[in-house]
Amino acid sequence: MVVAALARTVLRHPAARFILHGDETALKALLAKRAKLAERITIRHAAEQVRMEEKPSLALRRGRNTSMWRAIESVKNKEAEVIVSAGNTGALMAMSMFQLGVLDGISRPAIAAIWPTKRGQSIVLDVGANISCDAEQLVDFAVMGEAFARAILGLERPTVGLLNVGSEDAKGHDAVKSAAHLLRNASLPMEYAGFVEGGDISDGTVDVVVTDGFTGNVALKTAEGTARLVVHFLRQALRSSFFGRIGGLIASGALKALRRKLDPSSSNGGIFLGLNGIVVKSHGGADAMGFAGALDMAIDMADAGVIARIVADRANMISATIEAAAS
């Protein structure tokens, strides 16, 4: 799957070079028939691998010889600019934090997802790295998400919303209310748009939706489940009548395009933000097309200098906060 994805990505990014970490014999055999691709790939042998269900703490302790550890190490050593993995999310985060370290001034890294909306795409974070978050962390996520939206969605001034159960000031728990207060009063160079609700994510009301990792993870998986349910209902509806079946057959090309659009692997990957290095997590069940999407995103992130932007924004924000406090 990874090699097939690389074959797609090299066509779009002729300048990119790749280091493949894993079982050397197996990888060599896969590349044997692809001489052109093999020229742009360096294979690094790793004897072990992190299992999908392995506890992050265990993986971190015993994992120095795994392909995941080595891949992160190659970013740490500046041999590579980005790591892309479809492996165990928790282990990838733990190893990335340990090896790459967290950006100065950022309390905790977050996982960002690119979410399809009526207006295009939005960024939602955190979708699973931090189970509970205080106001300061939510503000960090807003800063990171905004920098990311500028870099990846190409927006000059992305709007940022805090996910809540209503749009009125008095709604929500303490963390979200305090974060709103900070974002409103910090005179940040950021278009803070206030509270948004669950329905606003898919509507595309704002470009960046900020939430804690528990709520974000539930929202993301609920949305994926709902998309599957609607497609299931659509199939049922088309099968339930003669005209439905005929119409469905005639429109089958359009309906296939719809299914591709809703396939989670097409807007594939969580991005770990807040680390001294770029880490892209591809969906565990991704196919070659999905993994190629994650590779493309990783290359775009490196080109756009996302990390430098986050560092600069966070510094601006701290000085803005200090100025506000002093005045």
Site of interaction with a second copy (CB under 8 A)? 53, 55, 116-118, 128, 131-132, 163, 165, 168, 170, 172-173, 197-203, 211, 213-215, 217-234, 237-238, 240-241, 243-244, 246-255, 257-258, 261-262
CA distance 69 to 87: 11
Q: How far is the CB of 176 from a second copy (least distance, A)?
A: 9
- Please say which residue, 191 or 224, places its beta carbon nearer to a second copy: 224
- Please say which residue, 4 or 262, places its beta carbon nearer to a second copy: 262
For residue 80, what are the contacts with CB-CB under 8 A and spacing of at least 6? 19, 71, 74
Could you give the residue ranges of the DSSP H alpha helices within 118-211? 135-152, 174-185, 198-203
- Please say which residue, 234 or 304, places its beta carbon nearer to a second copy: 234
- Please say which residue, 213 or 274, places its beta carbon nearer to a second copy: 213
Q: Which of 120, 60, 115 is nearest to 93 (CA)?
A: 60
CA distance 327 to 324: 5
Q: How far is the CB of 201 from a second copy (least distance, A)?
A: 6
Contact, 318 vs 139, CB < 8 A? no
Q: How far is the CB of 128 from a second copy (least distance, A)?
A: 6
Q: How far is the CB of 204 from a second copy (least distance, A)?
A: 9
Q: Give just the sign of the alpha carbon dihedral 176, 180, 186, 190.
A: positive
Rounded to 5°, the CA angle 325-326-327 comes to 95
For residue 154, what are the contacts with CB-CB under 8 A and spacing of at least 6? none
Residue 65 DSSP code: G
- Please say which residue, 26 or 229, places its beta carbon nearer to a second copy: 229
DSSP 292-304: HHHHHHHHHHHHH
Q: How far is the CB of 191 from a second copy (least distance, A)?
A: 21
Q: How far is the CB of 160 from a second copy (least distance, A)?
A: 17
CB half-sphere exposure, 92, CA atoms < 13 A? 26
- Please say which residue, 25 or 132, places its beta carbon nearer to a second copy: 132
Q: How far is the CB of 230 from a second copy (least distance, A)?
A: 4
- Please say which residue, 22 or 172, places its beta carbon nearer to a second copy: 172
